[in-house]
Amino acid sequence: MNRLQRFITEIHRRSLWQVLLIYIGGAWVCYEIIDTITDRLALPPWLPVLAIVLFFVGLPFVLATAFVGEVARPAAARPDAEPHIAEAEAAAAGLEARRRHRLLTWRNAGLSFLAALALWGVVATGWMLFGRGAGESATPDDRPSVAVLPLENRSGLEEDQYFTDGIHDELLTQLYKIGGLSVRGRTSVMEYRDRTKNLRQIGEELNARYLMEGGVQRAGETVRINVQLIDSETDEHVFAETYDRELSLENLLAVQREVALSIADSLEARLTPQEREQIERVPTDNFDAYDYYLRGREFMAWSSAERDARIAVEMFEVATRLDPSFALAYAKLSLAHSSIYWFDYDRSQERLRQMKRAADRALELDPDLPEAHEALGYYYYWGHLDYERALQEFVTALSQQPGNADLLEGVGNVERRRGNFDAGLAHFKKAAELEPREALKQFHLAVTYILLRDYPEAERYCDRALALAPDWIELYAAKGWLYVRWQGSTPRARAVLGEVADRGLDILVDPYAGHLSVTLDIWDGQYEAALTRLSSVSSTAFNTQFFFIPKPLLAAQIYDLMNETELARQHYDSAAAVLEAKLEETVEDSRLHSALGTAYAGLGRVEDAVRAGVRGVDLLPVSKDAMGGLYRVEDLAGILTMTGQHNAAIDQIDFLLSVPGFMSVALLRLDPRWGPLRSHPRFQTLLEEYEQRD
């Protein structure tokens, strides 16, 4: 008998086939159960894969147990035993040894199987308890959907509108805490303040079955709040209540709690002890402080304009002076400071310190306050582009307010910056479901699909956003850029910008739209028109969070294309002077280094140009910011092209095409900036390769 035959005989003798088949069969049954549990509990999709891995890890141990060891080793016969008795005793001993080995094999197989199953259970349980913070929700999609329509100010006094809107905002915040409800966000419902549509239409537009409406009447020392919850599909009242109370903070907060709990009870949304504790928490016992807090919230809600943000800061500061233990007011104060910093109204170190002080004070007063964690998250995100720490804070806040669309949006933004585009997309979609009438949520989806180069989907979400906010000029710029990236079509991009003019809006007031309008003239070879349009821009630079382009720099590039060498040099020199002065104020601004590198390249200062371009990339690498860092790499590719280092430039372009981003083959064929590369065989090969992939 050869070795193979002996090996097969041993496999049969040791019941290896039976063990293997039963183990695999059991694992398959368990996998099907695990897959069903994963789907029902909205667990992450990697958990069934983990189960398979664990079962495979246990398999070698099972096989080794079954195969290793002596089986039925004959026992030594007694010296005085008769030959036939000795033979019988040896056979019995062999049978016993085989029985014990088989028992050991089945026992270890079962233990391995149970160990793998137990370990999976521990991981799944741990994730459900601690891992849902990244915005995953255990609640199914068929949660009762609720929209709280703007409350009517029934006092007849305009100065009471902030009070009515404040109660509406606080009621929404209470409902955000209930994971068993799907609550539509403030922005989406505010457009129905002066509604002419019936409740069924509103319910359909908001994708919300239940609508709450009501009003607030403040008169002297009393307040009346009446609310009613209506099934928009049947027009039936689910509940209705009127609260007549003395005007005190305790009564106002009690009404908000009662309404939130009544909605949850009416819709059979079960509250966890933590959710109930959050709802019953009292933010302050000082009525005047609460009043100023409501005023501050109203200014923050109006717009992101500098005036409103600064007034909001003043209101929150008064609230914290009146009640130094008002944690919620400190949290909103930090967010107001963050808005002033992020939108370039004041990017000083002192503003950063004010953001941090207010957030820290809020957490010191109430370590579990979700708004405080949100504020600290924006300090890290907007203040330092520290996405890891920002995500931790957003996750903590979202665990306590799972229905907060703005927090979901924050997580989506951070995930996108971290390069987790699918995770970002998932969070943006959840946010858009809760805020179906807010253009910003649709815009985030459009930008993410542009980065993923899914241009048809990007177009769809651009159109959705524009339908909701037809006067938002930046949306037209985004759609115009979409068409040049997707199709290299300047006529389609111009048609989009033409819609801005048709609405009586000024394209040049928005830096994205203004820059695109000048760029389209350049791409179409209309250089004089580009210079004329550029001179009409009132600001000194196209200034966004992603680029800072002084007007002289863009003019220099136009003169370069016109072969006006001396004029180009003069403007490059002017641009360099502007950027050098700016860098003395903010030396860590990656945008300024990249722009300065372009100016130096135009002046023929090759080493300085490349050094500045590399510095821009180093300050904001793609590894740190998968969205903003792309601009720095593209700027470096442009500098390398201008300085004749074409292979190095193509390396950067190859990278930009290989990752999700804004670069596209259509754009490379259109933009004259890449003209010097077009005769390069490697560049042509690159374009053809990525064109086929697309």
The DSSP secondary structure of 145-162, one letter per residue, reads: EEEEPPPEETT--GGGHH
Q: 50 near 121, Cβ under 8 Å?
A: no
pLDDT-above-90 percentage for the chain: 59
Q: Residues 355-374: what's their mean pLDDT?
A: 96
428-442 pLDDT per residue, tens = 999 999 999 999 999
- Closest alpha carbon to 352 in 342, 362, 365: 342
pLDDT at 75: 46
pLDDT at 137: 40
3-class DSSP state for residue 241?
A: strand
Distance from C-alpha of 694 to C-alpha of 691, rounded to nearest angstrom:
5
Domains of the chain: 3-134 (no CATH), 145-280 (3.40.50.10610), 290-469 (1.25.40.10), 540-693 (1.25.40)
The residue count for the chain: 694
Q: 175 near 263, Cβ under 8 Å?
A: yes
Q: What is the DSSP letter of 346?
A: -
Lowest mean pLDDT among 95-99, 298-302, 446-450: 95-99
> What burial letters (b/e) apply to 137-166, b meaning 16+ CB within 10 Å?
beeeeebbbbbbbbbbbbbeeeebebbbbb
Q: Residues 115-133: what's their mean pLDDT?
A: 58
Instruction: Place 134 in a pLDDT band, splitting at 50, 70 and 90.
Output: very low
555-599 pLDDT per residue, tens = 999 999 999 999 999 999 999 999 999 999 889 999 999 999 999
Please, what sign has the CA dihedral across residues 292, 294, 297, 298? negative
Instruction: Give the H or E element holding residue 229.
Output: strand 222-231
- Which has the higher per-residue pLDDT, 60 or 523? 523
pLDDT at 440: 93
- Closest alpha carbon to 438 in 190, 194, 168: 190
42 pLDDT above the threshold of 50: no
pLDDT at 316: 97
Neighbours of 76 (CB within 10 A): 10
Cα 664–chain centre separation:
24
Reported pTM: 0.76
Q: What is the DSSP letter of 74?
A: P
pLDDT at 99: 56
Q: 557 near 603, Cβ under 8 Å?
A: no
140 pLDDT above the threshold of 50: no
CB-based burial label for 56 (10 Å; 0-12, 13-18, 19+): exposed
pLDDT at 166: 86
Q: 344 near 543, Cβ under 8 Å?
A: yes
Distance from C-alpha of 597 to C-alpha of 102, rounded to nearest angstrom:
75
| Largest distance between two CA atoms of the chain | 120
Distance from C-alpha of 547 to C-alpha of 255, rounded to nearest angstrom:
48
Distance from C-alpha of 8 to C-alpha of 692, rounded to nearest angstrom:
52
Distance from C-alpha of 458 to C-alpha of 485, rounded to nearest angstrom:
11
Q: 329 near 289, Cβ under 8 Å?
A: yes
Lowest mean pLDDT among 237-241, 646-650, 672-676: 237-241
Distance from C-alpha of 630 to C-alpha of 655, rounded to nearest angstrom:
10
204's tokens: 């359909």
